[in-house]
Structure 1
Amino acid sequence: MILKRNVLALALASGLCFTAGIQAAPVDTGATAGGSAANTGTANDQTTPASAQQTDQSKKDNKSADQSKQTEDQQLAKSLSTITVTGFNQGMERSIDYQRYADTIQNVITSADIGGLPDQSIADALTRLPGVSAERIAGQASQINIRGLSGNFIQTTLDGREQPSTSGSNYINFDQYPSELINMATVYKSSQASLVTGGVGGTIALQTANPLNAPQDQTLNVDARGSYNGQAHDVAGANALGYRLSVAYQGKFLDNTLGVGIGVAQMYQPHVAEQFVGEASDGTLYQVTPSQQGYLTQGIQLQQNGGTERRTGYLTTIVWKPTDELQVTADSFFSKFNNSSFGYGFRSQNFYGNNATITNPVFSSLGTMIGGTVSSNPPGVGGDQFSNETTADNYSATTYVFSGGLNAKWDHDRWHVEADASMSRASSNEINVDTTADPYSGLGTANPQLMSQQVTYALAGRQIGTASFANPGIYTNLNDLALSRYGVYPYIYHDKMKAFRTSVKYDLPNSSWLSGLEAGVYINNHDYQADREVYVYGSEWNTSPVAGQPPLTIPSSDASLRCWKGNFSGFPCFMQLNGSAILASHGITATPVKDWNNSWSEIQSGSVDEKTRDLFFMADIDAQVFGHELTGNAGVRVSHQSQYSTGLQQVGNGAGVPIADGYGVISTDYAPLTVGKTYTDWLPSMNLIYHLTDDDQMRFSVAKVLSRPPIDKMLAGAGSWVSNGQYNVWGGTSPLLDPLRATQYDLGYEHYFDDSSGAVTAGVFYKHIQSFIQSVTYDNYDFAAAGIPVPIDPTTGKPYLNGQFQTAYNAQGGNVRGLELAASKNKFLPGIWAGLGVQANFALTSSTVSNPTNLGGPTTYVGLPGLSKRVASAAVFYDYGPFSARVSGNYRSSFLSDSQIAVSNQLVTFAAETVYDFQASYNITQQLSVVYQMLNMTNEPTRTYFGGNPQQTGTIQYFGRTSYLGLNLKL
């Protein structure tokens, strides 16, 4: 017996309850609040049509409904709402129900699952789903990849509201979202007309809870855990201890017509990492020795990263339901993340460019040097910019996300109306300080000289390499060491959205083919602002002396001797420097501003204005075909987009307008520029589910989808130069980019065991993506036709001739195809083992797309960013009486990413990794439980390499394993 979607929604939503602690509250067997198969009965949910919120009472009032069908529906709803399992088993069974009865191909994590697992953020929970993986940034799961596509291809909503980003691009940093404040997460792998555009890879819908669905009139959850990271003992100044604390209250008032939910979640932990870095090549073939040619890299780094991370999240929800037909919700979510991240160690620089003498070189299979001895050039021979720099970096960042709004739902007879007005904002401010010190002779004189130096090193592929210095004592002697340069390069981003959506649905209970018709409107005004500033004292290696800015002596109070331990023991000791204090001791204060002397700070600043205007129409399908039920939906979404960017273009020759920089210096070589375009896309979609038996069904989906270009790639600012009477422009961005359009197909089979005790699913998918964003250089580019002004050549009195245009463009696309398998089962053993359950999934993905890179030496072709050929996860869990435990592992094979940053983002390959987690809990009483967790049990590092060649080490980082011990109290 198969249900129409409205009653299925009722059945599924009736059992969910609010959670904001580490473990979910008991299931509410009497709740009747509406939801859909793609919904949780949350306070807000755009991702499912408003009319899918029909209540049990409104169903009874529908006199046209089939009465016998209604009785069976109500019986199934009652069955689903009385599931009595708890712990990990409960989370698995509810996730299976949502997946089974959804119109789209989706995977779901419910509150019991999220709240009960060792998740620092919602990103950790998402990685347990088939075909979903995460990039670990600073040891934490952050950017999510779906089906081999990176975060820029993924749409993310919270309570149906499109989320702004703190990344400076389109992808969401999911470590911004505490798992304690999220009630449910759904990953949509197929599309439907009612979904907000943007999910070529998929759509992630995060949802908070409706307090009116809570099992009790008043509840309070308090969770407190202390944490310990053993890696911190090896890192200069790091603290091994931290904590997590969450408090949540929910209450129902005025005869259950008013619900209030409040949640606070705070995390404090050390920021810990030790890293060995092999830097990138410039792609140039050098004469390395008199008899050998090869590709050289910039250098190597040894660094300890310390600091702290503090994230605080707040959630408030007020729900008013004066009648069975009307519900009004006001809610808000806020999360602030402070990451004080400092890096100390060595950076051996400038192996290439004739700046050093190389002996005994060792080359990789690509012909790139991966070991040897690098020495300062003799006086008068070559360059003099090689040094084993002592570094003190500051990557501290403060980010916040706010999302809130007002939602109204009205259900009357067959009519269902929803309206939602919202505002979301995100901000990111990374200070990005680079401090370097070098050994000098003649310190305190008018002409200090960089000392002669040497390093002997060897890369070891995906393992920690070796490095030793000649005369290492000069790097710990403050009589020799001086601060050469102190640079501050802030990255500041602001991302704001104002949106409105509404939808109307009409039920068709007597139709032989359709169960309902729905139409809706979506409006979103998106404003993005990027600001770059700069302050620089001195010059690196003092090779370009700045008047009045000599190398600065280092007071002993501003430097501490540090030596390596553990996996990094044996490397030379170094001085931990306090760069800002060293400047202050010399009466200098760093004040970063926009600066014409560093014109990139003006050019890379700017804004992008996006306006989205969408309409959609969708029909819900419920028919009998060849004696079996066929359900699903079909529809079309019409998406109209306007994208314009404002920035500064360097026109030169005083042809611009007077503009003052942060120092008050006026330049007339730059002109404001506004460039952009509009476009409209028709996006049809269809989802079909053919029910072979009560427990077996097949799915087929097809849709046209799009993702908007990465917003940071649409900045209009550009620099320029004139050569041979031609005007040339550099910038690497373009407001004229097209969206990333794709056509996608899905075919799957699903078998479900009795009582939601497990499932076996298999599916294949195929995506044809028309284009990808890449960098390009055009010759003889027609600037005027693109709306880019060309300055006048004073020698001819006419505009300069067209020259090069270095920009971003829509490169040829390609295909992404894959296979996904998943299995889960519990209740397969008797007695005390009845609480044992298993879950496992595996995804195999491939693509025809390749990207050129010369960071590993010669030009090689690497794959599609975000794509791991193999992604898998498995878990074994056990619930028996008051005891619960789970051990899980997540694996992903190697993948490409541009999230590694040097001066700019670098395209690197991340090596395969497997991360294991463990959790156990015991209920001392019904109200009090104790919890123990261990994250990253094997201290799995992240490893990267260049050019697809594992010999060419990128970064090897160890973050340590983290243990938690705490208590959970429910009142």
Structure 2
Amino acid sequence: MTTKTVQGRFRLHPMAAACALMMFGLAHAQQADTTSDDAKAKAEAKKKTDAEMTVVTVAGIRRGIEEAISIKKNSSSIVEAISAEDIGKLPDNTVAESISRLSGVTTQRNKVNGKATDVSVRGLSPSFNGSLLNGREQASTSDARSPEFDLFPSELTGSVLVYKTPDASLMGQGLASTIDLRTLRPLDFGKRVLAASAKKERIGVDSGSDLGSGHRATLTYVDQFANRTIGLSLGLTKFKEDNGGELKFDSWGGWAPTLDYNGAQVAVPGGFLAEISRRKSDRDGASLTLQYKPNQNFKSTVDVFYSRGDESTKKTGIEGAVAFGTGPYDPNGVLTNAVVSNGIASSGTISNYKADVRNHLYSNEDRLASFGWNNELKLDDKWRVETDLSHSHGVKNISNYETTAGQPGNTPASQLGSISFSGFNGTNFADVKYKTSLDYSDRKVALLTDVDGWGGGPNSPQAGYVSLPNIDDTVNSVRLTAHRELEWGPLASATFGINYTKRDKSRTGQEGRLSIKGGDGYASAAMPGTDVAPAGASGLMVASFDPTGTLGTIYDLNRWVDATVLSRDWSVGEKVATAYAMADLDGTLMSLPYTGNFGLQVVNTKQQASGNQVDLARCTGITFDTCPYSVRTGGASYTNVLPSMNVAFDLGGEQKLRLGAGKQISRANLDNMKASLDFAVQNATSVAPALTGFAGNPELKPYQARSLDLSYEKYFGKKGYISVASFFKKLDNYIINAPELFDFKPYTSANTPLPTTGPYAGSTVGFLTKPQNGSGGNMHGYEVAVNVPFSLVTPWLDGFGVAANYSFTDSSVKLPTSGFVSPQNGPVFKDSVSEIGLPGLSKNVSSLRLYYENNGVQLAWAAHRRSSFVGQILDYRSDSQFTFIKGETIVDLQASYEFQSGWLKGVSVFLQGHNWTNTPFREYASDPNLITNTVVYGRTYTAGVNVKF
């Protein structure tokens, strides 16, 4: 490390200063502040700062729009933005709901609670986004890389930037976009700000079930001290919700088998699940920022973010096969008293009906803690160096209990009930009316027991199921950066540095079947309590109880240890080193002024993973003693070179033409990189039966794409803009799950079951499905956005405005459905389609927001629409599964008034309505008109008060 003496002062070499800054930056700044020259400079700078200071206040919808427009207009990349003045003005309880109003951005509602949690940008699934907090990668509490957005209350977020084009100075970028959540910076405020709000919610209005309630409270405090050299911002939020009841119906994939009736085969409903879901949740969040800026040469910022929440969902309902049995204790039915038309029984009665009364409890606790420390030191008029340290840790503990009640497995056939149905036309499964001969709200009928023999018979009774997975994720990063002002033609400045990130993530847990404590294979126990509940909207009543505390009192846990269960435990570690350089541009081309940047990232990755491999050559049972296993490991090392360029041409008249190009990567979800492997005889293959296995791939490399973006933007000062954009992505490498021939002989023994029929009878050769780097394809689209106040047309419409956008996206990528696996290790889309498009891709996405704001009155109506798409949901094991999700339109309303004078000045009251059209969550198999699963959330009304000082 070298130094030079310049005019009596020490001047550090830029990179040497960066390395030393973390330890000596603060002391250096304080020492510099004691010199008389610096004191004079500080006084002059403070006068200038005070004169130019912009007071950041929450001043309504239009102020929020203006701030977001300013960010978009002045950015050198193609970005969309939401500012703090805008967040929270509609019923936006999470960041995901807020940014869903941006062009080309859409969200998927969580199937459990109906809230927007997953964000898709330009037709790519949420896993293709890079998600940052104050420019730093974050840990997650799910199998995915990116954190779940409901962990970030909107009240704690100062602004959100969505980068649609790559930027060499951004770490953790995504292939679709990079979403950067930013908390408040207290020294950006001109004075002390104290704000508080309280909200009360009514949840599930018109859901067809009980109403729920909730409340939210927030407090924000921003202040400056020591002659504005120290800044503090503190945000606290707390909310609790009880959703009341949500009605759900599942038609078992639209199954309509045929039964013999009077010598002919007629179609009847195959089976159904109808239930009511009651969810309770609470979350506490805190955000703290400390800034220290003793002079114009040094600034230090510390960010702390914490979010803790828990959620429980109690499901009560009835499920069972109508026509055929679903287990060894469930015999097939016989159709009588049917009314038949065109081969379809519109009504009838089916014997041997064994219903499962479900009382399930799914709960989880999560917490996310993040810490970041950034230091900037200006060395002279040319050089500035920066260091950044960050730590993020996320944990989720999941507890899933499922119980079944009904008639025990040894119930004589003469005592089994029947089920009658009416109103069936062959496709309208959710409209069919059912009536059972037995009363399942009677605890003498609904006994806690193994109803259908799903455990395999009396030697392994299964009266329920329990799963207890845990997710742990840690991300640590360090970054060193140097900035240099330039006067080299169009090169205005240069930035270069290094970033190192280490990530360790694991999923562990246990699961198994429940059996009645101390009983035999047909044992039963009376259901505690006296509660009854409706089975969804079916009109059937069932016995209800809370299974909390029943393990060890009513049930024993029989832990499963087999290939499928053990494959769910894994760990993945990554070490990513990035060297980057970027130059800012400011010049003229053919009389057109332009700004922008071009740069390069060189990203080296070392990854390793572990997982479990059951030794099927010696596995004779499902316990540790009878089914030994070993830990598999694997990994890879590779380097990606990622160039990028962004240029914005000034066309005059506040018009800009932007061009962006670059190469991008998105890393695979961490559960795809596990080293686990399991297999068994599978009858769902195209050449059934055959040995079929599923594995992770620790050598998996990222998705890769080259992108080209073009955008035209016309601004009307800071009041509004019109933009038209198009984009093209060449997906060079897409990760697919594809089966390939594989010989399982090293993992088999003489006792391993092999296929007995078909072309693979007696063969150890079968099919192994695992994530692989395959060829990609093209995707393209365009976006149109209008965000203008109507006062631009006539002053008579002052206060009125509109924000509207539409995007179209299409792709040539087709993925084989054989690689999408169900909890039973069968193809998710079996018997429906052989290939699907990109998960997360809705071809058409649009939003419209009409508002009025004047004299303290604010009114807004907003609608968000996305067409049907392939989405991801969590199954009963908390594993991600793919499904077809029906397109939907969500409408929100808002009315508020802020007092403009008097002792109530700074106080505002508001009313909000979310999901005004009561749009349900709907799944389908292949035909969007054939709905297989419906969840009705109802409307949510919110009333509250905001106070600002």
Q: TM-score, normalised by structure 1?
A: 0.80
Aligned residue for 1:429? 397
Aligned residue for 1:41? none
**Residues 442 and 449, structure 1, Cα contact 8 Å, conserved in 2:** no
Q: What is the correspondence of 1:9-20 to structure 2 with a 5 Å cutoff?
A: none
Aligned residue for 1:814? 777
Q: CA deviation at 1:939?
A: 1.4
**Aligned-partner Cα distance in 1 for 2:50–2:939:** 43
The CA deviation string for residues 648-668 of structure 1, in whole angstroms up to 9 with x for no partner, is 111234599xxx99x8x5457
Q: What is the correspondence of 1:8-157 to structure 2 with a 5 Å cutoff?
A: 81=54, 86-137=59-110, 138-157=113-132
**Residues 874 and 889, structure 1, Cα contact 8 Å, conserved in 2:** yes
Equivalent residue for 1:226, pick from 191, 194, 200 = 200
Q: What is the correspondence of 1:198-597 to structure 2 with a 5 Å cutoff?
A: 198-216=173-191, 218-231=192-205, 234-235=208-209, 240-271=212-243, 272-280=245-253, 289=260, 299-349=271-321, 356-357=332-333, 375=350, 387-412=354-379, 413-440=381-408, 451-454=416-419, 456=421, 458=424, 464-471=430-437, 473-484=438-449, 485-508=463-486, 510-538=487-515, 548-555=520-527, 557-563=528-534, 571-580=539-548, 587-588=553-554, 595-596=560-561
Query: Residue 407 of structure 2 aligns to a residue in which SS?
Result: strand
Query: Residue 819 of structure 1 aligns to a residue in which SS?
Result: strand
**Aligned-partner Cα distance in 2 for 1:94–1:370:** 62
Aligned residue for 2:609? 645
Distance 1:652 1:179, change over 3 A: same
Q: CA deviation at 1:414?
A: 1.8
Q: CA deviation at 1:288?
A: 5.6
Q: CA deviation at 1:590?
A: 5.4
Q: CA deviation at 1:857?
A: 2.9
Question: Which residues of structure 2 form unaligned runs of 5+?
Answer: 1-32, 38-46, 450-462, 683-689, 753-762, 818-827
1:750 correspondence with 2:709 = no
Aligned residue for 1:619? 583
**Residues 440 and 449, structure 1, Cα contact 8 Å, conserved in 2:** no
Aligned residue for 1:759? 721
Distance 1:846 1:885, change over 3 A: same
**Residues 149 and 867, structure 1, Cα contact 8 Å, conserved in 2:** yes
Query: Residue 577 of structure 1 aligns to a residue in which SS?
Result: coil
**Aligned-partner Cα distance in 2 for 1:241–1:257:** 44
**Aligned amino acid, residue 641 of structure 2:** W
Distance 1:456 1:172, change over 3 A: farther
Aligned residue for 2:921? 942
**Residues 151 and 172, structure 1, Cα contact 8 Å, conserved in 2:** no
**Aligned amino acid, residue 317 of structure 1:** T
Q: CA deviation at 1:581?
A: 5.8
Q: Identity over the aligned pairs, expressed in percent?
A: 26
The CA deviation string for residues 228-253 of structure 1, in whole angstroms up to 9 with x for no partner, is 12438854xx6622111001112211
Q: CA deviation at 1:802?
A: 6.9
The CA deviation string for residues 120-177 of structure 1, in whole angstroms up to 9 with x for no partner, is 1111101000010110112100100100011111110001111222222224321111
**Aligned-partner Cα distance in 1 for 2:667–2:474:** 16
**Residues 90 and 892, structure 2, Cα contact 8 Å, conserved in 1:** no
Q: CA deviation at 1:79?
A: 9.6
Distance 1:316 1:456, change over 3 A: same
Q: CA deviation at 1:373?
A: 6.1
> Could you tell which deviates more after superposition, 828-837 or 387-396?
828-837
**Residues 440 and 448, structure 1, Cα contact 8 Å, conserved in 2:** no
The CA deviation string for residues 895-940 of structure 1, in whole angstroms up to 9 with x for no partner, is 1112253565443222121111122222233232212211111211
**Aligned-partner Cα distance in 1 for 2:625–2:640:** 44
Let me know the Cα RMSD of the aligned residues: 3.8
The alignment covers a number of residue pairs equal to 850
Q: CA deviation at 1:451?
A: 2.2
Equivalent residue for 2:160, pick from 182, 185, 189 = 185
**Aligned-partner Cα distance in 2 for 1:371–1:637:** 64
Query: Residue 453 of structure 1 aligns to a residue in which SS?
Result: strand
**Aligned amino acid, residue 616 of structure 2:** G
Equivalent residue for 2:911, pick from 923, 932, 935 = 932
**Aligned amino acid, residue 309 of structure 1:** S
Query: Residue 489 of structure 1 aligns to a residue in which SS?
Result: strand
**Aligned-partner Cα distance in 2 for 1:124–1:550:** 49
Aligned residue for 2:666? 707
**Aligned-partner Cα distance in 1 for 2:399–2:726:** 45
The CA deviation string for residues 816-872 of structure 1, in whole angstroms up to 9 with x for no partner, is 211100011123266674222211111011111234446363434332211111111
**Aligned-partner Cα distance in 2 for 1:363–1:772:** 49
1:717 correspondence with 2:696 = no
**Aligned-partner Cα distance in 2 for 1:375–1:550:** 25
The CA deviation string for residues 859-890 of structure 1, in whole angstroms up to 9 with x for no partner, is 34332211111111111122212222221111
Q: CA deviation at 1:480?
A: 1.7
**Aligned-partner Cα distance in 2 for 1:326–1:870:** 48
Aligned residue for 2:455? none
**Residues 107 and 118, structure 2, Cα contact 8 Å, conserved in 1:** yes
1:861 correspondence with 2:835 = yes
**Residues 618 and 627, structure 2, Cα contact 8 Å, conserved in 1:** yes
Q: CA deviation at 1:287?
A: 7.3
Q: CA deviation at 1:676?
A: 1.5
1:913 correspondence with 2:869 = no
**Aligned-partner Cα distance in 2 for 1:296–1:109:** 52
**Aligned-partner Cα distance in 2 for 1:940–1:300:** 22
Aligned residue for 1:28? none
**Aligned amino acid, residue 408 of structure 1:** N
The CA deviation string for residues 267-325 of structure 1, in whole angstroms up to 9 with x for no partner, is 2112342111122389xx98765988999997321111112111111111111112211
Equivalent residue for 1:875, pick from 849, 852, 867 = 849
Query: Residue 89 of structure 1 aligns to a residue in which SS?
Result: helix
**Aligned-partner Cα distance in 2 for 1:195–1:363:** 65
The CA deviation string for residues 604-626 of structure 1, in whole angstroms up to 9 with x for no partner, is 11101111111111111111111
Q: CA deviation at 1:460?
A: 8.5
Equivalent residue for 2:592, pick from 628, 637, 651 = 628
Aligned residue for 1:839? 803
**Residues 616 and 638, structure 1, Cα contact 8 Å, conserved in 2:** yes
Distance 1:327 1:582, change over 3 A: closer
Question: Which residues of structure 1 form unaligned runs of 5+?
Answer: 1-56, 62-73, 378-385, 540-544, 784-788
**Aligned amino acid, residue 503 of structure 1:** T
The CA deviation string for residues 551-594 of structure 1, in whole angstroms up to 9 with x for no partner, is 42324x52412237xxx65621222233346666xx335568x6
Query: Residue 143 of structure 2 aligns to a residue in which SS?
Result: coil
